[in-house]
Structures are given as C-alpha cells and as structure tokens.
Chain A
Amino acid sequence: GAEPKNRKWEQKQVQIKTLEGEFSVTMWASGTDD
C-alpha cells in the first residue's frame, strides 16, 4: 500500500507468528498509540 496521507497513520514493525515461525512486517497503524 501507498503511504496514507493522513498524519494520524504511523508506520510500525508488526510481529507475525505462524506455524512456520516468527517474522515482522512493516504496516501502517491507524489512530494514536498514546
């Protein structure tokens, strides 16, 4: 996905766990994480 225009979106490293193992992906998270 393209970078969202709204500045409320934050780029985040998100951890994923599957039966094959663990890894991380870069996603956009909405809202604030206060």
Chain B
Amino acid sequence: IKRKGPELANTYEWKKQLEAPDFAAAAVTCFKHVPLSDLWDNIVVGMKVEVENTDCDNFSEGVPASFWVATVLRIAGYKALLRYEGFGQESSKDFWVNLCAATVHPVGWCAGRGKPLIPPKTIQNKFKDWKQFLVRRLTGARTLPSNFIMKIFDSLKSRFTCGLTLEVVDGSCISQVKVATISKIVGKRLHIKYYDEENGSGFWCHEDSPLIHHVGWAMKTGHNLDADAEYNSRCQAGVYLDNDALPELFAQPKPSFLDQEDGGAQILAGMKLEAIDPLNLSAICVATVMRVLNDGYIMIRIDSYDPDSTGSDWFCYHSTSPYIFPAGFCEMNSIPLTPPQGYADDFDWDVYLRRTGAVAVPLTLFNCIDMETPPHCFQIGMKLECADLMDPKMICVGTISRVVGRLLKVHFDGWEDEYDQWLDCESPDMYPVGWCELVGHKLEGPRASVTEL
C-alpha cells in the first residue's frame, strides 16, 4: 500500500464513516474480480494478526516499527477494526487498518524475522508473564495464511502489460472503437491512450471491461473502427505484432443465442428493447437494434436521442449483456423507463410497437430474467468504491441504492440521483471499501454539502 505520492493527495479515507455503528460495507467476496476475493471468506472476526504497535514511545512513520498481536473485531471491505491483545474490554485504543497493509501480518511473522513482540505502553505493566498470556490467547485461535503477502501480490498482477495495442470504444464517438495503447495499469485498471491523441487524457477501464477488445476485433465483428491505414491493412492480412493484445487476454462474453445456427429466436435490425443509456447510466430507455454484428454483438440506439444524429450515437452491446432488457422489464420492476422522443411518461409498449410497426426482441434472448441471476450478496445501503463511468479515471464513494435481480443501482454519496449508475452485480467497476488504498488509486470522497463546507 502506497502511503504517499502526489497522485494520492486528498484521497478519501473512510475513517469517519467506519466509526458509525450502522456502517455496512459490501464484503470483499461480493466482488469476484478483486484481490483475495476467493479467500476472504476465511478472514473472520476473532482472528489474530501481528500489527504495528503504535502505542509506544517515539512512534513515527519511517522509524523501524515494533509489533504486537491484535484481534479482528469488525470487518468492512478490506478494512478491519483491531484491538491489541491485553486490552480486554477496553476499547479506547481500538483502530481501523487495511488488512492488506504492510503493517499487518499473520501471527508468527515477527518471530520469523527475529523481531520480538512488544506490548503496547498502556498495558505494559498489566501482566508479569506475557508468554503465558499469549499462549492462552493464541492457542487454537485463527490467523492469516503465512503466504498472505504473496497472495496479495499475485492477485494484484494484471494479465495486461503497458505498451500493448488494443481496440477500445471511442469516448467521443461511441459508435466506433479506436486503436489504442495501454500506458499505465493501477489495480488491474488500464489507462489507455488513443493512437491519434499524443496529449489527450486517454481512457480508463478495468481489464475485464466489455469496452476493450483484441487487435482485429472490429474487423472480425464488423464494428466501425478508427485506425491508421497500416493497422487496417495488417489486420486484413492477419499480421500481428508482438505488442498486439490477443483474444485470450480479454473477458469472453457468454455464448449467445445468436451464435447458434438454428438459434430459435433471432435479433433483427429494427427490433425494440430496453437498454441502459450508455451516455447516462442512471437511465433505462426504449431502444432499437440498428445493426446485428458478428459473434453475438448488436448496435443499439436509444430512442430518446436526437433523431438527426448520423449514427454516431449507436452503441455496441453483446446480446448476452446484462445491460439490455426485454420490453416491459422496467414496468415489471417499477423502474422509470425513459420513453422515446415525443412520448410522455404514460408510454405504453403495445401502442408504441403498433405505431412504429416494430416488434420487440424476443424474451428468450435475454439474460436479465430472474432465473439467470447469479447469487450475489449486495444489499441496499451497502457502501463501496465505484468508478464513475462518465469519467472513469475517478473512483468514488458510493452506496447500493437499489437491487433488481442482478442489476444494482449505485448512488454516489453527496451527488444528485441523476448521477446514479445502474451496474451489473458482476461489474468490474465496483470495488470493496479499502480497494483504492490497497492498489494506490485516488478515492474521491462524498461531495460535501453546502452546510458542511
């Protein structure tokens, strides 16, 4: 964990919120894509750890630390409330740490490095025989695995490396992907620079994001591509370079009904559906399939957009995306549906389909219906860290404000509801409390209200 650095100036710390008795954070195990998610079930209240002893003479950062044993009292994301052994029921020196911090270790770590455990100054004289006390407190208790630090390092490694070339959705023209290069990786989030923007701010996304693709993807699927002539011709010739990102690096979409030859149901251009507005993630809108691409991808257009647009506002979703829904999904789940242009809030699907002469995408093609909901543990009120997908370099403090099957609504604390984001429960853009601190990413705090300021 980086403690300093200009990029972390003014990063938000959860301290104040953590102390609230009703604070609830989504558990690390809710986020399958984050470090240590698979072993976090075994991080439990009552567990013992060796942790830096700050209750000593002349404690200051940078000075070789002494350590003591502490018990985990509460867990919130990667954060844990600890109490030094020997304080009994006394809570005055309890403190929150990030369990992945370099100051927290499995019991036995200090002895392995020849460092004696030193009891905190406050209780130094409480016991004469600390050995007997520790034997009593530690025998049969639980601790972290001895390779905990290695597990953290391993789980932070990205599949990608800086310098790789890939295709990424063009932030200023969402109907095309653009050739780009990875310039930086923080916590498996990639900073990507478009090929034609030397000094542009680039684009941020997680390595499992559906917005990034391998070299040659646009040509294979039939998606619009912005690239130079050399890139186009080598893709056509099937010539790949050492720094080209190949398909195996990318999260693969689920098999689509559209891939099957006798696929039963089919999606055709002109069919209607409901979809999350790619330019306003708080809105689910009436939308139209504009084109069917290869490999199960479709281009959709939101029906409330300006009709004069020339196709630059079409957006690519995979047909198994959790962000497209059958007609009637919003009504069934009491979610406001943004109607097409010219229609009011009393929008009716049957009337609209009759008037436009269109048909709805068949229900069987969707993954969003209840039986497809993977088990997840998100609940309303849970806190998390979440990328602002309208400005994805920012990770912000958020709260789960609605749960509809696998679909979650994330509210950014202190901001109006219009900035909320609908996200899938498996979205790689959501993180547990303490993730930013763990990977060294700045965390944007809640927007302060006028009265607070």
Contact = CB atoms under 8 A, between A and B. Distances in A.
A17 to B, nearest CB: 4
A19 to B, nearest CB: 5
Interface string B230-274: 000000000000000000000000000000000000000000000
B130 to A, nearest CB: 5
Interface residues of A, number: 27
A14 B148 CA distance: 15
A34 B114 CA distance: 24
A17 B134 CA distance: 10
Contacts, number: 100
Contact of B118 (A19, A22, A31): A19
B interface, size bucket: 35 or more
Contacts of A29: 106, 142-146
B114 A33 contact: no
B145 A30 contact: yes
Contacts of A18: 116-117, 130-131, 134
Nearest to B145: A31
B48 A15 contact: no
Contacts of B43: 30
A20 B132 CA distance: 10
B141 interface: yes
Given A27-B141, A31-B145, 16 more contacts: A4-B142, A8-B39, A8-B41, A14-B107, A14-B138, A17-B114, A19-B118, A20-B130, A27-B139, A27-B140, A27-B143, A29-B145, A30-B142, A31-B148, A32-B39, A33-B146
6 contacts: A4-B142, A17-B114, A23-B135, A25-B138, A29-B106, A30-B145
